[in-house]
A and B are shown apart, each in its own frame.
Chain A
Amino acid sequence: GAVVSQHPSWVICKSGTSVKIECRSLDFQATTMFWYRQFPKQSLMLMATSNEGSKATYEQGVEKDKFLINHASLTLSTLTVTSAHPEDSSFYICSARVQPGELFFGEGSRLTVL
């Protein structure tokens, strides 16, 4: 199956700094990628839809200035958590659409803000 890779898998940062998480489609081109957030022992919540060459579409309640998404190429989408605070600590997962009805997920990135 298609491979989606996330980097880093685990990041610790100080409060007030910005952190970038990358999501790459390794063996296919993805015009659309998705970003999710998962709190401990909870389900995944869609944060935003990332479209190559255009602005991301954010779900209701997600701060677009806090979570910057860039999809500059057909194989890379990035999520930048700006001025991170402890409440931003979470597990972030991306997925990429291979074809209609088929999504592949990255391994996830655990963010801890001290």
Chain B
Amino acid sequence: AQTVTQSQPEMSVQEAETVTLSCTYDTSESDYYLFWYKQPPSRQMILVIRQEAYKQQNATENRFSVNFQKAAKSFSLKISDSQLGDAAMYFCAYLNRDDKIIFGKGTRLHILP
């Protein structure tokens, strides 16, 4: 069975600084998708970034980028130039071939003004 581990329950970063959220996963599949979702207080799940496992190039979306290490089964999220609006719960997620998504326990990110 696939698992997703986020080892940092909470993190804080100064506004305008850079922060990296960690995620590791376990799977025997070779073809899958990885995601980072943001969940603000409204609890709406917002897609931050998506990575296809067969693509070696790391995904990037504006200030958000990932470091995808397939062999190490690691998928970290880097947020550059942190903004107050980035404060939220961040979930790393794995999507298997059956489209079943497995979430990590989440990392609560605080932005310090």
Residues in chain A within 8 A of chain B (CB atoms) = 1, 32, 34, 38, 42-46, 49, 91, 93, 95, 97, 100-105, 107-108, 110
Closest to B101 in A: A103
Does B33 lie at the interface of the complex (its beta carbon under 8 Å from any beta carbon of A)?
yes
Does B99 lie at the interface of the complex (its beta carbon under 8 Å from any beta carbon of A)?
yes
Q: Which of A42, A91, A102, A104 has the most CB of B within 10 A?
A: A102
Chain B 97-108, CB-CB to A under 8 Å as 1, else 0, gives 011111111100
Closest to B102 in A: A46
User: What are 26 A-B contacts defined by CB distance under 8 Å?
Assistant: A1-B47, A32-B99, A42-B106, A43-B103, A44-B91, A44-B103, A46-B100, A46-B101, A46-B102, A49-B98, A49-B99, A49-B100, A91-B43, A93-B43, A93-B45, A97-B99, A101-B33, A101-B95, A101-B99, A102-B50, A103-B99, A104-B47, A105-B37, A105-B44, A105-B45, A108-B43
Q: Are B105 and A34 in contact (CB under 8 A)?
A: no
